[in-house]
Chains A and B, each alone.
Chain A
Amino acid sequence: MKTPLLFILAAAAVVLASQAPAPAVLAGEIQGLRAFDSPGDGGESVTLEWEGGPSTLVSIMRSESSGGPFEEVGTTIGTDGAYEDYVEEGRPYYYRLSYRIGDQDYVTAPVGPVAARSNWFRSYRLNALVLAVLMFSLVIYYINAAKRGKDLYIRRISGISAIDEAVGRATEMGKKIIYIPGIMSISDIQTIASLSILSHVAKQTAVYGADIEVPNKDPLTFTAARETVKQAYMEAGRPDQFREDMVTYITYDQFAYAAAVSGKMVRERPATNFLIGYFFAESLILAETGQSTGAIQIAGTAAPTQLPFFVTTCDYTLMGEELYAASAYLSKEPILLGSIKAQDIAKALIIVTILVGIVAYFFGSTVIRNLLASR
């Protein structure tokens, strides 16, 4: 008899207990603290997350054993709900949070052990990976299409067409051409694009017998430019006409360089100035001086702030992507043109994505925006 009675009493107690109100959660009390290896990093940090939390400072306490001693490694506002702690890779840690609500101090139960590990993929960069793969695929597809003989239309870029004309003018006038490859190092893609155009210009000067000078601000660009010009003269079949002083080094200082080249322009009055590459504030000093000497000027840059100055003072300006397209355009090689076609398709895709994103956002959806968020 006793056993069923006890069973009934116990069952009743359970039912009553389950019906009893759960212990109230204090406003600002921290719940569900968890610690885990930060995803997608190089094993530098551990992430802590929690629910609730006071609107005041919370101390992040860390220890190498669950029993302590815990020491404060940082603070954050409790309502942030997360903290990233930078730690030694592979070492296990325990965490707890200490905070105050009113006059009362609180400490959470410790969590752990957790260790930071090196990860193999930055998951938050998946969107960038997809775009990179797409861009590579488009370039390879259109290069293959060009190889198969598909006719690819590329619009005429007047600045590029004017290059040969400008070299011819200098030849007729018997005056020098100054080619300025920007002021950045060879590690900048605009400098490489500029050297590609320099190669074409140097071949033209070699063929026509015009004089060219390439003053440099960056030492690495200087050595590369010299090789480019030398090779261009060899390929044009005029290695004897190449002189070492065609490509010179001036100085590493931006404005001293601008002063030296401006002085050269005023004294030697070149027929043509090329200002192609990455420029900063010296762009206007160089271009306006060149304009005042009556030289024909062809500029090219992807630096948006310098474009207005070049447009105002130069006869032709290669803007943004035109600079990168120039070498392909000049070479007329189908495989190079294929990559420009791919670039145009990518641009069209971006425009469509932006438009879809705007429409979606207008209707309250942030899906596209979140997909494109970068870190």
Chain B
Amino acid sequence: MRRTIPLVITFLIGLYPIFAFFVPHGSISGANDWLDSALVIVAAFALPLGTVNVVMTNTTKLKRKSRGWQYSIVLLAGLTVMAFYGLVGGTGVHPSFQWMFVNMVSPLQATMFALLSFYVASAAYRAFRARNVEATILLIAAIIVMMGRIPFGDMMTRGMMTPLSEWIMSIPNAAAQRGIIIGAALGAASMSIRIILGIETTYLGTGKD
């Protein structure tokens, strides 16, 4: 029973949106909209579970003085203060919350995103080696695209780099992307059918593997 009931629910709920995709009748689409809303509500209920886990994991770490326990203090303090002002603000935004968002959360996020430029540089340095013909083609294409994205490229080649780079992006790149998207979409469809039909259950942790 523990295994059958979830599979029956999965079958019915999984098939319904497919049915609703083809049947526009109000009696069908209404329930489909309800399913969309239900997902949001379920996610909202799961969030406190996550928060409780964060608090428990970090308080345990503090109690045991595990490695890196100092970071747990920062985390718990941040969580408490932001949650407090978030709740005090009600449906609006409390000025202290907005201040922390603008002056702390926002620059920290931008910093993390900015790290990408450093990581892209070091990853590109390692990856682009002319080891064989394919790697050399990749290397040349990468340099053309990078040059095509900056004014220097056009200045050095009398405006040839931008169109060349656009060509690489919109023809070979788009073709490869489509190939991956089609393959992945088929894979997703096949996996979905396996889940709907109850053949694939490993994600439930009840596979026979």
Contacts and interface: CB of A to CB of B under 8 A. Distances in A.
B182 A350 contact: yes
Interface of A: prevailing SS: helix
A94 interface: no
Contacts, number: 219
Nearest to A120: B25
B71 interface: yes
Interface stretch (A55-63, A161-169, A280-288): A280-288
Given A231-B206, A331-B208, A255 B112 contact: yes
B73 interface: no
A316 interface: no
A275 to B, nearest CB: 14
Contacts of B191: 189, 192-193, 324, 327, 339
Contacts of A135: 186, 189-190, 193
B166 to A, nearest CB: 18
A298 to B, nearest CB: 17
Q: Number of contact residues on B: which range applies?
A: 35 or more
Interface stretch (A14-22, A98-106, A340-348, A358-366): A340-348
Interface in B15-57: 18, 21-27, 29, 39, 42-43, 46-47, 49-51, 53-54, 57
Contacts of B205: 199, 227-232, 235
A189 B192 contact: yes
A121 B21 CA distance: 9
Interface of B: 18, 21-27, 29, 39, 42-43, 46-47, 49-51, 53-54, 57, 60, 67-68, 71, 105, 108-109, 112-113, 115-116, 119-120, 122-124, 126-127, 177, 180-184, 186-195, 197, 199-200, 202-209
17 contacts: A43-B25, A139-B190, A193-B191, A196-B200, A219-B50, A224-B203, A249-B50, A249-B54, A250-B54, A281-B113, A281-B116, A319-B180, A330-B202, A336-B199, A339-B191, A342-B190, A347-B183
Interface of A: 40-43, 89, 118-122, 125, 128-129, 132, 135-136, 139-140, 143, 185, 187, 189-190, 192-193, 195-196, 199-200, 203, 216, 218-220, 222-224, 227-232, 235, 245, 248-253, 255-256, 258-259, 263, 267-268, 281-282, 284-285, 288, 302, 304, 307, 309, 311-313, 319-325, 327-328, 330-333, 335-336, 339-340, 342-343, 346-347, 350
